Each structure stands twice: as structure tokens, then as C-alpha cells.
Structure 1
Amino acid sequence: MGLEFIDIFEDWAEEYDKSVAGLDPQYAQVFANYKGILQEVVNLSSGTVLEFGVGTGNLSTLLIEAGHKVIGIEPSKAMRDVAKQKHPNLPVLDGDFIAFPKLRTSIDTIVSTYAFHHLTDDEKKIAVKKYHDLLLPGGKVVFGDTMFTSKEAKELIIEDARNKGHHDLVEDLNREYYPTIDVLHDMFTKHSFNVSFKQMNDFVWIMEAEKQ
């Protein structure tokens, strides 16, 4: 359920905001247009929003400013602490994409950025089924995450990063479970979601999946 990466989350908590600001050259392309990515997720959201992988609370901030009620899920205590410093009244629950506390309110939109790739494909399938059961018809899943058009496209990105000496990025791309768009599309359509994708930078796409 992505928890094998928890140590990385804990270590990255204090540096994450610097990375998304483009201050780490290895990840500059990954976080290119970061504010635009978050804003696109906000624009596609409605009603009460469940956010997985709150991290340091950057997306939460924009959702709250847009008038949404936000419930956050975050497995890393260090990340939760940073998010709560920004928004003391934001409920950030301990959990992950699959195992999370029972919610006492209906959810209109499920969102996440830079996190769903921490699940294996089998875990993603379990998560998609849970989201289908959680949402009413017309409810949405809106994810902004690194994904690739094909396995070959991913290998070209890895080779480019290796040639640039971006060894941490190469390690991430080889270690984590970045999906291809066709696989992610099939996972959601099998559970009666209408799915579309929009590319935001060389790595990140926005997936909008509306439950039929």
C-alpha cells in the first residue's frame, strides 16, 4: 500500500517544498508547472474533497481557499505535522490509499498529487474499487501524477535522466510503480468511470475519472 516508501516520506518532509519550488535540479522537470498542476486539480474538484497523500499541505491550501471542505489522508507523521502547521484545523488522518479510517461524511471528489504511483498495479486495482464504492454517481477521482504513454517512453525518460547525472531520479523511476496511461485507463473504466487525461509537463498528467 505504498508504506514501503514511508522512510522516504519522513526524510523528505522538510525538503519537499524546496523540491516543488524547483530548487532541486534533479526533480526540476518533475515539478515543472507545479502550481498549474495543483490548480488544475482544484478546478476539477467539487464539494467535499478527500485528499490522499496530503504531504506538506500545498494542494489542501488551494482547495480550502477555493471553499472546499477537505479531509486529508497521509501515512507519514512528519508530513502530517508539516501540513497541520499550515492548517491547524485541517483534519489529516493517518492512513493510505487503501487503508484509511471510516468517513462520517459523503465525498464528492477524491484527489491526489504525486502519490498514486507508490501503489503496485494490484494495489491500484483495489483502491479504484474502494473509490467506486465510496463515490455517488457523478463523483470524481482527480489525480495528478507521473505516468507514461508507454513502457518505451518511460525508458527514454530514464535514459535521459541517467545521461544528465540525475541518479536519485533514476533510482526513483526504477523503484516505484509508475503506471502507463492505458493501464490506468482500463482500471477505472472497468469500474464504470469515464476517464480523460491531460499532460501538464514531461512527467505529470492529470487524470479525471467521473463515476457513471
Structure 2
Amino acid sequence: MGREFIDMFDEWAKSYDDTVTGQDPQYKDVFEKYHEILQSVADAAEGNTLEFGVGTGNLSEKLLAKGLKITGIEPSKEMREHASRKFPMLSITDGDFLSFPEPAEQVTSIVSTWAFHHLTDHEKDQAIGSYAALLPKGGKIIFADTVFSSEDDRDKLIQGETEKGYDRLVKDLTTEYYTTMEVLEKIFLAHGFYVTFKQMNRFVYLITAEKA
């Protein structure tokens, strides 16, 4: 359920903010338009918001600036501590996409960025099913994440990054659970959501699902 990547999350805590601002060439394209993408997620969120994978708190900052009440979930102790130092007003709880304390109040938006790919497709299905039970009619899931139009496109992209010598990025793309739009759409539809995909950069799509 993504917990197998905790060591990587802990390691990234200190360098993540540098990476997302383009200082690591291997990940520059992955995080292109980073703040624009975060703002797109925040703009679509409404009401009480459940945020998975708070990381260093950059999306949380934009959600707070909008005046939203946030319940933050983050499995990495290092990430939680880093975000709390940056934004002391944040309330962040240990948890993950599948195992988290249920919010005390009705949630109307569920958000996450660059994180949902840490679940297998089966786990993604489990997660969306649990979120369907939490959200009211019209409630939204807004994720920004790497997703591919087809398995062939995924293979071609990985081959291209391999040829560039981007070994760390290739390792991520081949060991984490990146899926296709077709698979995600089927999962959302099965749990009663309408879903749209908007490409934000070469890797990342804004995924917006609304409960019917």
C-alpha cells in the first residue's frame, strides 16, 4: 500500500523541494509547471479536504491559502516533520491511501499530488472504493500524478529516459506502479465517479473525479 517506499520518502524529505524546482535534471520534466499544477488541484478542491501524501506541505500551503480545512495524511515521519517545520499550522497524521483515521467531519474533496502511483492497480481500486464511501454526491477526488495513455506509450517513454542515462528516474518508472488512463477510468466508473484527465506536462495529468 505504498509503505514499501517509506525509505525513499524519508530520503527525499531533505531534497524534495530542490527537486521539484528543477535542480535535478533527471526529474525536471516530471515536475515541470510544479506550482501551476499544485494550484490547479487547490483550485478544484472545495470544503473539508482530505490530503494524502502531504510530503513537504507545498499543496497544503495552497489549500490553506484558499481557506480550506485540511486533514493531512503522510506515512513518512521525515516528511511529516519537514512539513510541520515549514508550516506549523498544518495538522498531519501518520497514514496512507488505504489506512488512515476517518475524518471527524464530512469530507467533500480528496486530493493528492505525485503519490497515487505508489499503489498497485488493485490497491488503487480499494482506495477509490473507500473514498466513494466517504464522499457525498458531488464530492471530488483531485489527483495530479503520472499516468500513461497506453502501456506502449509508457514503454516508449521509459526507453527514452533510459537512453538519456536517467537511471534514477528509470528505476522509479519501472519499480513503482504507474498505470494507464484506461485502467484508472474503469476504476473510477466502477465506484460511481465521472472522471476527466487533463495533461499538465509530459508526465503528469490532472485527474478530476466527481461522485455521481
One-letter amino acid of the counterpart of residue 116, structure 1: F
Correspondence list, 1:37-116, <5 A: 37-116=37-116
SS in 1 for 2:42: helix
**What percent identity do the matched residue pairs reach?**
51
Deviation at 1:24, TM superposition (A): 0.2
One-letter amino acid of the counterpart of residue 179, structure 1: T
Deviation at 1:43, TM superposition (A): 1.1
Deviation at 1:102, TM superposition (A): 2.4
Matched, 1:173 2:168: no
CA distance in 2, matches of 1:179, 1:139: 24
Deviation at 1:87, TM superposition (A): 1.7
Matched, 1:138 2:138: yes
Per-residue CA deviations over 1:159-182 (Å, capped at 9, x if unaligned) read: 111111100000000000001001
Cα RMSD of the aligned pairs, angstroms, is 0.6
* TM-score with structure 1 setting the length: 0.99
CA distance in 2, matches of 1:122, 1:194: 19
One-letter amino acid of the counterpart of residue 79, structure 1: M
Which residue in 2 is equivalent to 1:147? 147
CA distance in 2, matches of 1:90, 1:39: 18
One-letter amino acid of the counterpart of residue 4, structure 2: E
Which residue in 2 is equivalent to 1:185? 185
Assess if the C-alpha contact under 8 Å between 2:71 and 2:103 holds in 1. Answer: no
One-letter amino acid of the counterpart of residue 163, structure 2: N
One-letter amino acid of the counterpart of residue 31, structure 2: F
SS in 1 for 2:67: coil
Per-residue CA deviations over 1:165-211 (Å, capped at 9, x if unaligned) read: 10000000000000100100110011110110100000000110000
Which residue in 2 is equivalent to 1:18? 18
Give the unaligned 5+ runs of structure 2.
Answer: none
CA distance in 2, matches of 1:38, 1:94: 22
One-letter amino acid of the counterpart of residue 51, structure 1: E
CA distance in 2, matches of 1:48, 1:63: 10
Q: Hey, which bits of structure 1, 4+ residues long, moved more than 2 A? A: none
Deviation at 1:89, TM superposition (A): 2.2
Deviation at 1:90, TM superposition (A): 1.1
Aligned residues: 212
CA distance in 2, matches of 1:86, 1:105: 26
